[in-house]
Each structure stands twice: as structure tokens, then as C-alpha cells.
Structure 1
């Protein structure tokens, strides 16, 4: 009998507390934030955060910087392709001319072979023949010095000719990171201005603008790193080409020192 009264009292307490518990549960649920999937899309947020989407959404100054850096990158690879083809052809021809000189022929034979050619080694040969013509075939120390001076001038001129356009790679490599940094600073400045105007520090609103600004720095590095690497590579190739020209000049000086100037005075006037 006592147990039955106790159960009855518990049931009464439970029925009395149930409405309060239910009301508290609904109140707590109402205070909880709604799920992310139920949120309406924020018009301030970009819908496309791919590199192309960030480029389209960037400020006009940042866009200009990125377009300029993309053009600089195109110039870099164009110079690399053109100079690689030009240098390879010049080195192959210089090796063939050097092999001809190393076979031990006379200067007159070399002039007849290269009389109408305009490559570097042909210029060295015709310049030597021109000095021999002006010296009336007289071989002395002064003649050798004059020939060496002419050969040095031709080597320097040919090296300058092949180096045309390479200097722009050094300029791109040195300035592209700073140009990209300028675009980044400008974009971040605009992002902070947007924060001030929107009165919000929500990272989801701020991050896209900062990402667009950092894309300019990425463009700068993409333009600068290949430019520096290609410039150093072409500088080494040009230095190797000058070594070939130096070898050809040495062979011509050897020919002069052997006195192999037969019929040099009767050679046609060679253009330097």
C-alpha cells in the first residue's frame, strides 16, 4: 500500500515538471544558430574562387599588374626560344669553321671558303685577311698585334649581337617580384577599405579580396623565376660561344705566326 502511494506521488511530480522541461527545450533550440545549409547566400561573397574567378573579381589596378606580368612571362619564353635556336645554330657553324682552321690550311684557303659568309668566324677570317692586305704581307710583331686587336673587336661585336634581347630577362627577373608585390599591397589595401565600409571582420568576407591580392604576387614569382634561370643559362651559353670564337682567333694567329700568307696581297678586298 505504501509503495503504491509512492508511485502515485512520483507520477504527479513528473506530470507537473513535464510542461516546464518541454518549454525549456524549445527555448534552447530557438537560441541555437541555424544550420549553415539553411543560411541564405551572402551577396558579398564571390561564387568562384578559382584563379580565373579571382582574376575577374580583382581590382582594375591588380588586373593591370597581373596582365603586365603575364605579358612579361610571355616575353621571357619567347626570348628563350629565339635565342636558343640562334645560339645553337651559331655554335654549330662556329665548330665547323674551327674544324676547318684546325686542319692546317692557309689563310687564303679559309678566305675563299668564307668569302661571302657573314657568321662570326667568317668575320674573323676576313678581318685577318684585310689586315694582311693592308700590311702588304709583311709579318712582324706589329702585324700580329694589329691582327689580335681586330680579332678582339670582332669577337666583342659578335658577342654583343648575340646578347641582344637577353638583358630584358634580367630586367624582368629583377622587377617582376616588386611589381607583383605592388599589386598585392594595392589589393590588400582595398580589402581593408572594404572591411571598414562593411563594418564586419568576418573572415569569409575578407579572405577573397586578400586571395585576389596574393594572386598578383604569385604572378610576379611566375614571371621572375624563369626569367632569372633563363638569363643565367643564356649567359653561360654565350660565354661558351665566345670561347669558341677565342679558339678560332687563336688558330688564325697560329696561321699568321707560321707565315702562311701566300698570295695574301692578291686577295680580294675583305669587308670587316
Structure 2
């Protein structure tokens, strides 16, 4: 490499904005899509952490109230039929069906426990859909964005070879900018994919633990109701 070529290469701006500005239209679109995917992924991650932390606090507070010895009817009256907490809503669904399962004379209608358990299962499914909603988007971002970035890289490298052929020049000053722009697309794809995959797995684990707590509560509550029915 002669001194002139080296001097020209050193004068090339390789900052992010310069690489983006020099990129072709297709590569620019790819970069914009990858940046948008990364922002979307982080917004889901932050939102889910806030939701899960709130769900844990609500469950802990409700467990304290549920096991405090307060009569369940009084607890249900205090919470109402549509409480704010997720575990509270499961409890409210069960208590609502419990009261509906009594006839006008106060006797239990047959198969009350089965209906109560189904009510809790429906409530748990509803909460699961809400807790795990948008996690699928993280999985999609994590699996798709590397290939989108690779597509941008391939297009960028093709454009570099075309430019080399047109200029009949393989110097670093000609090759380096196009290759750098192409590799930037791959970097952006990985920048979006890696956090999405990592936090998808972590958030899925947290969600499963929360839902496991709901299912354990439903089993315990069903056992309590079973004792009352037997008595």
C-alpha cells in the first residue's frame, strides 16, 4: 500500500452516521428496520420487567391477606368481583363461582367444586396470556434480525464489488467504505438479536415461576374448598 492510498483511507469517515449516509437505499432500509427492531425489543423487555415485578408484589401481598385467618367471604367482599391484582382475580373468580353454586335456600348445587376449578383455570389462562403476551415478538426478533442484517451485508458487499468493477480499482479507499457499511448491517442485526434472545429466555423463566405460583394457589384453594364441601 503506497502512502497516497493510505492517506486517502485515513481521511474516510467511518463513524456510524457517515457509514449510514454512504449506504445504498436498500442497506439504509435494512439498518432502519434493525434499529427499530432493537428499540421495540428493549421496550418489551422493560415493560415486562415492570409488569412482572408488580405481579410479584401483588401476589406476596395477597398471600399475606389470604393466610392471615380472615374469613374468605370477608376477604372477597373487601376485594370485590374484579380486583386489580392477578392472583386476586383468580381468587375472585373462584369465590364468584362458589356463591353462584348455592341455590336460593343456601344449598350447594352438585359439581360445585368442578365448576370452581374450571373458573380458576380460565382465570389463570387469561393471566398467562397477558403475562406472556409479546414474548413471542422477542423470539421473532432474536431469530429474524441476524438474517436481515446478513441480507444487508450481502447487498452491501455486492455494491462494493460493483463499484470495484466500475472503477477498475481495488485500493483500500474504494473497498473499505463499502465493506464497512455492509458489516455495519450485520452488527446491527446482532445488536437487536442478542438482547432479544437473552431476555426472552429470562423473562419466560420469570413468567413460568409466576404462573406456577398461581397454579399452586389454585390447588391450595381447591383443597380448602374441598374440605368445606366434605364438612
Pick the TM interval, shorter chain. Answer: 0.7 to 0.9
- Which residue, 153, 158, 171 being the options, matches 1:189? 158
Q: Does 1:125 align with 2:91?
A: yes
1:77, distance to aligned residue in structure 2 (A): 1.1
Which ranges of 4 or more aligned residues in structure 1 deviate by more than 4 Å? Answer: 39-42, 137-141
TM-score by length of 2: 0.88
Report the 3-state secondary structure (helix = DSSP H, G, I; strand = E; otherwise coil) of the residue aligned with 1:233. helix
Inter-partner Cα distance in structure 2 for 1:45 and 1:64: 28
Report the 3-state secondary structure (helix = DSSP H, G, I; strand = E; otherwise coil) of the residue aligned with 2:111. helix
Between 1:175-184 and 1:97-106, the stretch displaced more is 97-106
Inter-partner Cα distance in structure 2 for 1:186 and 1:200: 20
Q: Does 1:245 align with 2:210?
A: no
Report the 3-state secondary structure (helix = DSSP H, G, I; strand = E; otherwise coil) of the residue aligned with 1:259. helix
1:269 corresponding residue in structure 2 = none
1:109, distance to aligned residue in structure 2 (A): 2.1
Any unmatched runs of 5+ in structure 2? none
1:134, distance to aligned residue in structure 2 (A): 2.4
Deviations 1:109-165 (A, max 9, x none): 221231151322222222112222222165688222221111111101011012222
Higher Cα radius of gyration: 1
Aligned partners of 1:45 and 1:208 also within 8 Å: no
1:239, distance to aligned residue in structure 2 (A): 0.6
Between 1:122-131 and 1:209-218, the stretch displaced more is 122-131
- Which residue, 137, 162, 173 being the options, matches 1:168? 137
TM-score by length of 1: 0.75
1:159 corresponding residue in structure 2 = 128
2:27 corresponding residue in structure 1 = 62
Give the superposed CA RMSD: 2.6
Aligned partners of 1:101 and 1:251 also within 8 Å: no
Q: Does 1:36 align with 2:36?
A: no
Any unmatched runs of 5+ in structure 1? 1-32, 261-272
Inter-partner Cα distance in structure 1 for 2:218 and 2:108: 17
Inter-partner Cα distance in structure 1 for 2:11 and 2:159: 16
1:210, distance to aligned residue in structure 2 (A): 1.0
- Which residue, 88, 108, 112 being the options, matches 2:73? 108
Inter-partner Cα distance in structure 1 for 2:214 and 2:144: 33
